[in-house]
A and B are shown apart, each in its own frame.
Chain A
Amino acid sequence: MSVDQDTVRRIARLARIALDEERVGPMMHELNGILAWAEQLAEVDVTDVPPMTSVVEQQLKMREDGVTEGGNADALMANAPEAEDHFFVVPKVVE
């Protein structure tokens, strides 16, 4: 399987990474290089093999569904590139 230029544009859009038009071709070649190399995984018979879901066998830990922390608005906002009164500022999203 390999990707074409339209697919590169589509996944860049899905990933929300702007890609200059002149970078689409080179990126397609880079991705195809990696995908062609990963193609060897298709050689292996994986019938009845479960996908790994946890590296270390252990029961998923449970805890009380309660508030454990809070009241940190100043700390939370400290790294915001643009903020106002404990709100993050973004471009207008509603017409």
Chain B
Amino acid sequence: MMPLPSTPTDFTLAEARDAVRARKISSVELTNACVKAMQAARTLNAFVTETPDQALTMAHEADRRIAAGSTRPLEGLPLAIKDLFCTKAVRTTAGSNILSSFIPPYESTVTQNLWDAGAVMLGKTNMDEFAMGSSNETSHFKPVISPWRAHNSNQGLVPGGSSGGSAAAVAANLCLGAMGTDTGGSIRQPAALTGIVGLKPTYGRCSRWGIVAFASSLDQAGPMTRTVRDAAILLKVMASVDPKDSTSVDVPVPDYEERLESGVKGLRVGIPKEYRIDGARPEIDALWDRGAEWLKAQGAELVDVSLPHTKYALPAYYIVAPAEASSNLARYDGVRYGHRAARPEDITDLYERSRAEGFGAEVRRRILIGTYVLSAGYYDAYYARAQKLRTLIARDFINAFEHCDVLLTPATPGPAFAIGEKTADPVAMYLNDVFTVTVNLAGLPGLVVPAGVTGNGLPLGLQIIGKAFDEATVMRAGRAIEVAADFRAKPETWWEAA
């Protein structure tokens, strides 16, 4: 066994769990170390709301439980929660002005599962407004700044999005793990850009209840961690069948951690040729080739497969997701909760101004696109056609999985980019999700693992895609990549306040 790091915030979740159980460190000590790191890193703007008092109360309770011998699976482990998960009595903003003072009277099912397992809440993390963005720049609470910088550069980089605050908090060792959500790549793209592990589970694996809705047929919660093992530990607790979410699926949740080290000997790994695209950086393809060699060297069999409708996934997504968003976000009316415009002339004026003042530019744009593609006369040309493409994309995967067990693909077309670099062109920003969005459209699990760095020191990831509800095999393959890549790069701690 590896010796424990000297700083508690550098522990992996698994190391911290074992150390707390063995009483080598108390939850209060661990939590204090994370709170201190979080407060010293405000320059990163990773948290919208810090909850140090609640964290310490939970940590004391955890230490009491450990002393009493009634330790739960995540006892005393501090986590950061994306501000899309409703947390009872703790402000939940979805990164939006319209919810900037919303205090949920209930707890999301996923976070309730974490607290029931003994986890400690450090705070709520920054994100793109309503999870609509790939850089965290659409947040009402200002962008998150990535802990990573290119060699010899002070330029601020994006952490990716929409779960950018969670990604930055994990990458900068402010917490032991974090919750994200993924509608088109919002866990996996920021994970790739910040050199951490991000898992989008199968649609239906985790309950969506209490997560502020963006696109209901695509949204899924997942863990963001520093190791594949940590993701396995968190998913086991997050996953549940929930009477409050009729799309949560009643299938057994295996012990992912137990199966992690089984290796990839004999595993058939599909390499989809359509993921070699114009516009991806050459180092992306090189890393992908290296990843395939790593798996082959460990006994996996590489299989060339084809997913012919891949190029249509992104445009289909940017019809389907805004359509669902325009419907979901109709609830923000300035009447029942959320921002309300002052001195409305009449009810229509109240709606129109509350929403115009409450939503940011990207959210307004997507609601208008969604409204248009669902409107009379355009529904068949756009929305119905996009849903048919979705069927074809899902069939592509079914056909590919007749020849392989998992797929290996790049995670993103490039490394982290500068703040402000892509905000002027919505379509250029959307292209960030080109490798991740297919998985959401087909409802499949996808895992991103850090696998290398660019010439100037920025992290890059690889993605494993699996069959529905086969996260165990996905994580086993991801673990093999992790072992071979031996990714140890960490950002310099330039952000720490004196």
Which A residues form the contact surface with B (CB < 8 A)?
1, 3, 7-8, 11-19, 27, 30-31, 33-35, 37-38, 40-42, 44, 46, 49-56, 58, 60-61, 63, 72, 75-76, 78-82, 88, 90-93
Determine whether the beta carbon of B427 is less than 8 Å from that of A34.
yes
Determine whether the beta carbon of B388 is less than 8 Å from that of A60.
no
Do A80 and B384 form a contact, CB below 8 Å, given A30-B365, A38-B318, A55-B203? no
Do A15 and B105 form a contact, CB below 8 Å, given A30-B426, A50-B391? no
A-B contact pairs, 27 of them (CB 8 A): A15-B368, A16-B330, A16-B333, A17-B368, A27-B368, A31-B365, A41-B312, A44-B309, A46-B385, A46-B388, A49-B388, A50-B391, A51-B384, A52-B390, A52-B391, A52-B441, A55-B203, A55-B394, A56-B203, A58-B204, A72-B105, A78-B105, A79-B336, A80-B335, A81-B338, A88-B335, A91-B350
A12 to B351, CA, bound (A): 12
Which of B335, B346, B349, B442 has the most A CB atoms < 10 Å from its CB? B335
Determine whether the beta carbon of B394 is less than 8 Å from that of A11.
no
Q: State which of A18, A42, A80 has its C-beta within 8 Å of the C-beta of B352.
A: A18
A23 to B2, CA, bound (A): 59
Q: How far is the CB of B142 from chain A (nearest CB, A)?
A: 22
Q: How far is the CB of B21 from chain A (nearest CB, A)?
A: 36
Q: Does B200 count as interface, using CB distance less than 8 angstroms?
A: no
Q: 19 additional contacts, CB 8 Å, given A30-B426, A52-B394, A56-B468?
A: A1-B378, A12-B368, A17-B352, A17-B355, A17-B356, A17-B359, A17-B364, A27-B368, A38-B382, A40-B315, A41-B312, A44-B312, A46-B392, A51-B387, A51-B390, A51-B391, A56-B202, A58-B249, A81-B334
Which residues of B, 389-423, contact A by the 8 Å Cβ criterion?
389-392, 394
Determine whether the beta carbon of A27 is less than 8 Å from that of B427.
no
Determine whether the beta carbon of B368 is less than 8 Å from that of A16.
no
Give how many B residues have a beta carbon under 8 Å from the other chain's beta carbons: 72
Which B residues form the contact surface with A (CB < 8 A)?
101-103, 105-106, 202-204, 217-218, 243, 246-247, 249, 309, 311-312, 315-316, 318-319, 326, 330, 333-340, 344-353, 355-356, 359, 364-365, 367-369, 371-372, 375, 378, 381-382, 384-392, 394, 425-427, 441-443, 468
A28 to B247, CA, bound (A): 36
Q: With CB as the reference atom, state the residue of chain B lying closest to A75.
A: B105
Determine whether the beta carbon of B375 is less than 8 Å from that of A79.
no
Interfacial chain A residues near B333, Cβ < 8 Å? 16
A12 to B365, CA, bound (A): 10
Interfacial chain A residues near B427, Cβ < 8 Å? 33-34, 37
Interfacial chain B residues near A53, Cβ < 8 Å? 387
Q: With CB as the reference atom, state the residue of chain B lying closest to A38.
A: B315
Q: How far is the CB of A33 from chain B (nearest CB, A)?
A: 6
Interfacial chain A residues near B351, Cβ < 8 Å? 16
Determine whether the beta carbon of A49 is less than 8 Å from that of B391.
yes
Q: With CB as the reference atom, state the residue of chain A lying closest to B372.
A: A11
Q: How far is the CB of B106 from chain A (nearest CB, A)?
A: 8
A13 to B351, CA, bound (A): 10
